[in-house]
Amino acid sequence: MEEIKAVIPAHKLEFDHKNFDREIEVFIKEPDAGVNADTGLFLILHAAGGYAENPYFRKLREEWADRYNVVAIGVNYLGTSNDREHPTKLSLQNPEQTVKYLDSRARAENPEGLAALHASGSCNWTDLLSLFPNTDLSQHVIVVDKSLPHRDEMKDYRDYGYIQTMDCLYAVKYTLDRYKINSKRIFVFGSSLGGYLAQTCAKFAPNTFSLVADNSGFPAIMQNDVFLKGRYTRIVIENKACLFCAPQLFYESDRNSPYYFSDDMFKIRALNDNSHLAVFKQHFKGRIVAFHAKKDQLVPYAGKLDLHEKYRKNGVNSVFYSFDTADIDGKVIISDGHGMSADLKLLFEKYCDEFALNDKKSDGVTDFDIGHKIVYSGAKSNFILDYSGGYPTIENRKIQRKK
């Protein structure tokens, strides 16, 4: 059975100033034996910089559709095409390592200047380059001659899990409508950003998933991520060599900006907020399985451990696997850094096979079946997930204070 590609309407953007019509691509692989009464659904999510039709993820869908008797799907959620058309590539391995390289050089050659740069939160490359006055850095950058569109015209950007999650849920809804799925068997798995989105899918649709598997996703979004404080965005050498080490800055910390990213917008994206966990635990009947390296520098281990301790205290069924240098086996676990450079197929099959093959939710009722509203409250806004109209919507509704 060949994989199917569908293009479906998508949720409006968080800041919908231009009222854009959006579509997303969904890739669907049925089991070769066909769909039967026990066939589940498996949403497999790529990480930042990836895309659903990547041959590796296509192969995962092909193999897992049969192994687990599921309709295996992938989706090019918000930010995918921007990552693909404006990739983060360096001649020196990858952005994280290159930034570490530049930091280490500056620590050795100009530690005071580096400390001042980080303290200021500057993304000004003139300041950065001034730390290396006698060094030619052109060998460490890649020429990029395609500029990103103006923010007002951007239909595709990383929004740190908000509409990205809705895109994932639209793909699930589309598949549930297309097939008669055993809704006691709905799984989601991803790594890094994909792992985080697996968990936000569960937060936004807590009655839907029976198994949520996350490799090295983050428990919450940090201000430095959204506003790129202390993060390098672009380098310009002789007006032509450009290096993108992070997505283009989209949001603002200025309260008067139409792109203001509020504290409540951080909160709705957080998995570890206590008040939101109190809502989540009332609905969630599935199992969460997470993997994380103790030496992860990109997503610190302590925050992930704290999240799963909160899960357990709230009665959420959670299994947390941690990995250290001694766990490197060269086959499943390749490194002790972010994501462990793990073979995702072997990782999931080693630790989740039993759950995926045997676990079923106690009931087969999803949020799409219930057609209800879920409210996650903030200080100044409530976030309302509405499943009453078929495809879900999310609304950031300001709280009206009585005068």
Q: Model confidence over 346-395: pLDDT tens digits?
A: 999 999 999 999 988 888 999 999 999 999 999 999 999 999 998 999 99
Class of residue 337 by CB neighbours under 10 A (exposed 0-12, middle 13-18, buried 19+): middle
CA–CA separation, 234 and 244 (whole Å): 5
Query: Which of the listed CATH numbers 3.10.20.30, 3.40.50.1820, 3.30.70.1150, 1.10.3210.10 matches domain 4-84+156-220+270-367?
Result: 3.40.50.1820
Question: Each residue of 261-271: pLDDT tens digit?
Answer: 999 999 999 99
pLDDT of residue 100: 54
pLDDT of residue 249: 60
CB 142, CB 89: distance < 8 Å: yes
C-alpha angle with apex 15: 10 to 18, nearest 5 degrees? 80
CB 221, CB 68: distance < 8 Å: no
pLDDT of residue 234: 42
Give the dihedral sign, CA 73/76/80/84.
Answer: positive
Query: What is the distance of C-alpha 96 from the center of its chain?
Result: 17
pLDDT of residue 16: 75
| DSSP codes of every residue in 113-126 | HHHHHHHHT---HH
pLDDT of residue 117: 63
Rounded to two decimals, the pTM is 0.82
Residues sharing a CB contact under 8 Å with residue 363, sequence separation 6 or more, in sequence order:
184, 285
Class of residue 245 by CB neighbours under 10 A (exposed 0-12, middle 13-18, buried 19+): buried
Q: Which of 191, 245, 253 lies closest to 222 in space, CA to CA?
A: 253
Class of residue 322 by CB neighbours under 10 A (exposed 0-12, middle 13-18, buried 19+): middle
Residues of the chain with pLDDT under 50: 86-96, 122-126, 138-148, 229-248
* Domain coordinates in residue numbering, the chain: 4-84+156-220+270-367, 90-141+225-244
CB 227, CB 253: distance < 8 Å: yes
Q: Which of 172, 219, 159, 220 lies closest to 70 in space, CA to CA?
A: 172
Q: How far is residue 305 from each of residues 157, 290, 372, 391, measured CA to CA in Å?
A: 29, 10, 32, 34
Residue where the block lists tokens 């309260």: 255
pLDDT of residue 86: 44
| Per-residue buried b or exposed e for 104-119, using 16+ beta carbons within 10 Å of the residue's own CB | ebbeeebeebbeebee
- Position 360, amino acid: K
Question: Each residue of 131-178: pLDDT tens digit?
Answer: 666 655 544 444 333 344 556 666 777 889 999 999 999 999 999 999
Q: How many CB atoms lie within 10 A of CB 365?
A: 14
Residue where the block lists tokens 């026990």: 38
